[in-house]
Amino acid sequence: MRNQFKRFDIQISLIYFSISVIWILVSDSLVLWLLQSNPVLHGYVDIFKGLVFVLATTILIFMLTSRELRRRQQIEQSLEQEREISPVCITVITPNGAIKYANAQAERTLGLTRSTITTHIYNDPHWHITDYVGHPLPDEGLPFTQVMKTGQPVYGVQHAIEWPDGTRVLLEINAAPLLAPDGTIREVVAVFQDITASYQNNNLLRESEERYRLLVENSPYAIGIHQDGALQFVNQAALRLLGYAKPEDLFGKPISAVVHPDTWDAARQRIGRMLQGETGLYPTDDIYQRIDGSPVEVEVTTVPFEYRSKPAIQVIALDISARKQAEANVSRLNQRLTVLHQIDKRILTAQSAKEIADAILVDIHHLIPCEGATITLWDETTASARVLSTTLEPPQFPFVDAPFKSDSIPLYKSLRDGKIVRIADLQEDNPVSELKKQLKTVGGRSLLIAPLISHEVILGTFRLVSSTPDHFTDEHADILREIAAQMVIALQNTQLVETVRAKNERLRILSTRLVEAQETERRHIARELHDEVGQTLTALDLMLSMPFKNGAAMPPELQEARTLVNDLTRLIREMSLDLRPSMLDDLGLVTALVWHFSRYQQQTGITVDFKYGDVQRRFPIVVETTVYRIIQEALTNVARYAGVSRASVRLWSTDNAIHVQIEDTGNGFDMAAVQSANNTSGLIGLRERAQIVGGTCAIESNRGEGTIVTAHIPLEAHAEGSESL
């Protein structure tokens, strides 16, 4: 606007100058031409011309003055408008400190009306002026005081106004003097803005940066910044990880100086991809190199970012050596548990001490690398030792059954105390000369021996041999101790099982003999009843009937006696057949069963459907008797409980056993309920009959679904007692 006014004034001045020159030149020439002969009139014209010039000049000056006033008013209005709409706060202060003017932004910033602001002086206690922290600010530190004292502008003065509610407005102030024509300060203009938010943001940013710095410096992760092919920053964790004393020792070094040569190519490719813009790289296992050259396993995360306005890569590394070692230990322990589990399974299926030892030696090398393993059993009662199992071939390991004396074995006391004996090198430190001679044949250098000890009694030893000196470790000793303990338990269990098996076998033999004795006694009693008592009763009946053969009438008393004799004879015959039918011994199993089924039907009314295979040959007496008694007892149960009119019996044989199945479709019963009621004497009798001769007997039944009794009697154990028809 000022430039427009200036151009306009120049134009007016030029027009005035041009018209003046033209007027003077033209008017003088015209007057001279018109008034050459009238000097008086010429004088009047000159006076008029001067008056016109003065008038024109006056008008021009008035116009220029009016224009200047209007221009000043417009400038002041424009300045006033600019001050009002200014985004910064503007106040005008008189030399005596009174606030003369405050714009709208000052009202908004201070939260006061303009009239309230202009009724106070610059340092009025109402303002409660403090520094940014809240400490009182002295008057000499205020911008107005500084301007009035120095006469020079001041910039960036910071102070706060704290209101009664505790809120604080943070201000940044620039102040400048407005000078009077005489050089004195007419007014002071203060321009300020509310920087509360930016200051708080800056504080938050500084605090965030400080927290980030502390986090980086105190982080357990090693952190470094790689830029322009060199390290620009490392934290304390990185120094500890790599073994350096101070950050300057690493600044400027290429990252290849800390990456192990074995993994440098992969690291270089990863860095190259990230510098080309690839993101989202996940943590990667890597190997770094310490200052002494030793490797350290790390987990590395690389993040591209801008550092000092240039592309860079932040490298975050965590020492995972302990984790890797722990993972290796876990893997080793898992393998150890797996192998021990396999050994346990083999031990559980083993039937003898030899099988147990063989099962252990199958997998021992998976747990403890060695050239040979030997399990030896000692018998202190007979003072003898024998190799139970070994992975060394007999030609290489000539250790055979031999007598020993505990006093002659230098390691005996340690073994007796349950200690694991470890010999680092048999050629240098060898307390067992005889063992040294034996192990020389297989190139043995180091030895590990675990005692197989139970209740302070040495059952034997478990020995491992290696061709490498000082091969066995504490971990190997722990594993061997654990396996030896398992083996001792397994050996004890085997001994118990063998003892129980032997006792069971003796019990079975005694039971078999008892049954045989019972059957023999029954056979004897049956024959005595049939032959002796039966014949006597028959003779008695003949003697009673002899006197009356000629047709004479028999007295009622004798008739009654004869009837009693006949009843007694029939009863004796039934008792003889119940004790043991003679046809079982004379005619065989099938004939005896057919006779029994016929008699059973007469007594119970139950029909027996009998089917049999190739069983018409003779079997061992004990087998035939067992099968007969199982069928007899099962059919007795059918008659008592089944409530049926028909039952089936199946009899067949194979090469090594005879099989029988008795089935009915009657009432059946709940096996669990019957067993819990301890009312199982009949069931137990069936099973015991079969078990005595080494067989089995299974009973299947459900309420309302009938019962099936299936027995399998072996023939091989009783082959010597077989007879043929």
**Distance, CA of 33 to CA of 389 (rounded, Å):** 161
Q: Which amino acid is at 354?
A: K
In the predicted model, is pLDDT for residue 18 greater than 60?
Answer: yes
**Distance, CA of 198 to CA of 107 (rounded, Å):** 20
Overall CATH class of domain 219-319: alpha beta
- Answer yes or no: are the C-beta atoms of 270 and 308 closer than 8 Å: no
Query: Residue 94: is it exposed, middle or buried by C-beta count within 10 angstroms (0-12/13-18/19+)?
Result: middle
Q: pLDDT (tens digit, 9 = 90+) per residue, 298-311?
A: 998 888 888 888 88
As a whole number, the mean pLDDT across the chain is: 78
- Answer yes or no: are the C-beta atoms of 714 and 615 closer than 8 Å: no
Q: What is the CATH number of domain 364-580?
A: 3.30.450.40
Could you tell me which of 239, 258, 259, 237 has the C-alpha nearest to residue 247? Answer: 239
CATH 3.30.450.20 is right for the domain spanning 86-201: yes
Report the alpha-carbon angle 103-109-113, nearest 5.
Answer: 60
Which of residues 63 and 147 earns the better pLDDT score?
Answer: 147
Per DSSP, the residues of 160-207 read EEE-TTS-EEEEEEEEEEEE-TTSSEEEEEEEEEE-HHHHHHHHHHHH
Q: pLDDT (tens digit, 9 = 90+) per residue, 579-605?
A: 666 666 777 888 888 888 888 898 889
- Strands in 195-270 per DSSP E: 222-227, 230-234
CATH homologous superfamily of 586-721 equals Histidine kinase-like ATPase, C-terminal domain (3.30.565.10)
What is residue 173's predicted lDDT score, i.e. its pLDDT?
92
Residue 109: both structure tokens together: 């910033």
- CA 243 → CA 222, 239, 250, 630, distances in Å? 12, 6, 11, 87
Specify which of 210-224, 440-454, 674-688 reaches the highest per-range mean pLDDT: 210-224
Could you tell me which of 660, 664, 666, 684 has the C-alpha nearest to residue 674? Answer: 684
Per DSSP, the residues of 48-111 read HHHHHHHHHHHHHHHHHHHHHHHHHHHHHHHHHHHHHH-SSEEEEE-TTSBEEEE-HHHHHHHT
The continuous run of DSSP H or E covering 121 comes out as none
**Distance, CA of 666 to CA of 180 (rounded, Å):** 135
Mean pLDDT confidence for 465-486: 87
Work out the pLDDT band at 724, boundaries 50, 70, 90: very low
Work out the pLDDT band at 403, boundaries 50, 70, 90: very low
Residue 472 — φ and ψ, nearest 5°?
-90, 140
Work out the pLDDT band at 45, boundaries 50, 70, 90: low
In the predicted model, is pLDDT for residue 484 greater than 50?
Answer: yes
Return the minimum-mean-pLDDT range out of 23-37, 164-178, 299-313, 557-571.
23-37
Alpha helices in 580-638, H assignment, sequence order:
582-586, 589-604, 621-637
- Predicted TM-score (pTM) above 0.75: no
**Distance, CA of 297 to CA of 85 (rounded, Å):** 65
Q: Count the alpha carbons within 13 Å of 711 in the hemisphere toward its beta carbon.
A: 34
Strand, helix or coil for residue 659: strand
In the predicted model, is pLDDT for residue 238 greater than 70?
Answer: yes
**Distance, CA of 337 to CA of 499 (rounded, Å):** 31
Work out the pLDDT band at 442, boundaries 50, 70, 90: low
* C-beta neighbour count of 134 within 10 angstroms: 11
